[in-house]
Amino acid sequence: SDESSEDEAQMKWEEQQIKKAVKLSQETYNDASLHKSQPAKPKFDPSVSLPPVDLEIVKKRLTERITSLQDVHRAHQREYEKYMEDIESSKMTVQELEKSSDAALNYKFYRAMKTYVENLINCLNEKLKYINDLELAVHVLLQRRAMRILERRQDELKNESAYIQHLTSENDKPTNGGLDGDEKTQLLEMCEHRRTCRRQVRECSGDTDHHEGMSSDDELTPTEVAEFQKSKDNVLEDSRKIFEDVHADFCDIRKILLKFQEWKEKFPDSYCDAYISFCLPKLLNPLIRVQLINWNPLEQNFTELEEMPWFRAIQEFSDAKNGSEPKGDDDPDQEVLPRVIEKTILPKITAFVKNVWDPLSTSQTNNLIQLCNNVFGKQVLSKSERSRAKEDLVNAIVLRMKKSVEEDVFIPLYPKSTVEDKSSLCSKFQDRRFWSAVKLLSNVLLWDGILQEDTVRDLGLSKLLNRYLLLNLLNTPPGPDNIEKCSKVVACLPERWFQDLKSGSTLSELRNFCQHLLQCARTLHKNDHSHETKQVILLLVKLKALHIVEDFIEEYKLEHLKLMI
């Protein structure tokens, strides 16, 4: 046991010595590492010289450093902007995705709209035949009535002329004609009866500025009026039944336009891409024509276009705003109304001009001129488009007036001995024919401003005044009757024609007429009719024939008349 205790003590001592040795070696290693990590500071040697400092080099290095930083900043700025664009694009994508969530509703709307339009077109196609038939029926009634009046007027003119020629001829042989004596006499008596009735009406109304022959003589007998009205009422009754089996959504123009307005408000892009504004005039054409079946612009107190339901509905549709956006001039819906007028209204007016209009009727002519001014004014909205329908209407007006000049104007020339007695049949007939031609001249010249000036001057002056009226004036002796006729002719001429005449000469077409006035003035002056002479000089002044007036005053030493120039 003593030996074992000594061994244990020996082992503890060795362990202690080993621990001391390990601890000492570790401290020595740590000190050596510390000395290695901290190198010795170099000592400053004052004997060593440093390189010189150059400010330019420093400035250059600083500039290069700033430029480098600026380049880095710009790169960061571009990157920032790109990130912002990506953010905006992402927002737009989110909005589009949110809208695309309504795809089912959009598809439902388009499908319903497609079905509605197909049903509307099918309905109108089915009714189109009935509309055409009724429109034609009314137009044929009006055309037959107009032809009846025109043929009666021409027959009475021929018969009256033949009757007077027969009375004034030396022999009593009957003239060749399609009617026997009794029938001719009956026609002339009816004509004189209508003339007497009109004269009595004018006397009661106090109309003194009227001459026999200036009436259009378009009265119908009570039987003819009743037959016409009955036939027209039957057609109108049928027209009211056209859409009686159709729902209002397919025959009411206002409700139809509301459908398309809803489309435009919800999907303006697809509305424009479908060219709806170009399709609507043709789509609405049958419905508008139904409302125009009873429309006659030649009658007194006819319904204005602006007062018709279809016009107001289209106008409201064209003026409607798309949401909060104001109505722009480039909105294609602004063209709907002008296109309706171009495609529907103007062709209908042209048909009236060709087959119904009587150029000898002043009331019809005034109504037609008023309508043309109104319609042509609304066509201004059609931008830079050549209106073929307007050209057709203008050409129809010119052709109809040419036909009237050729067929309705007849002024017989009788020997002076037969017309000196103003109560004779020859004198009365000749005066009636003269004043009828003057009335046509007045109606033709009313078209100045709508038709080309050259066209109006050719029809009114070259064809009517110089070819017909002037011959009668030349055979009428100077006096109050001649002056009254000349004054009426001058009163018909538009003042606009003489405003820009600076040369002292009148229009070329009026030279012969002015020479006639000059001859009248000379004759009246020689006969000491000073008042009548002054009236003739005033007419020449109105016609701007100043050279003729000056020469006349100088020739007869009428210095007091210079104040009239």
- pLDDT tens for 227-275 read 999 999 999 999 999 999 999 999 999 999 999 999 999 999 999 999 9
Note the pLDDT of residue 179. Answer: 45
Angle ∠(232,234,236) on CA atoms, nearest 5: 70
d(CA 221, CA 224): 5
Q: List CB contacts of 515: < 8 A, sequence separation 6 or more.
A: 548
- Map tokens 């009313």 to a residue: 446
For residue 500, is it left (φ>0), alpha (ψ between -120 and 50) or beta? alpha
What is the C-alpha radius of gyration for the chain, rounded to an integer number of angstroms?
51
Note the pLDDT of residue 143. Answer: 95
Note the pLDDT of residue 155. Answer: 85
- Map tokens 């029809």 to a residue: 459
- The burial of 387, by beta-carbon neighbours within 10 Å (0-12 exposed, 13-18 middle, 19 or more buried), is given as middle
d(CA 260, CA 266): 10
Note the pLDDT of residue 473. Answer: 93
Query: 291 to each of 134, 303, 305, 307, how far by Cα in Å?
Result: 12, 11, 11, 12
Note the pLDDT of residue 100. Answer: 63
Note the pLDDT of residue 28. Answer: 67
Residues of the chain with pLDDT under 50: 171-179, 323-324, 326, 381-383
d(CA 447, CA 418): 37
Query: 273 to each of 100, 158, 279, 396, how far by Cα in Å?
Result: 20, 63, 12, 38
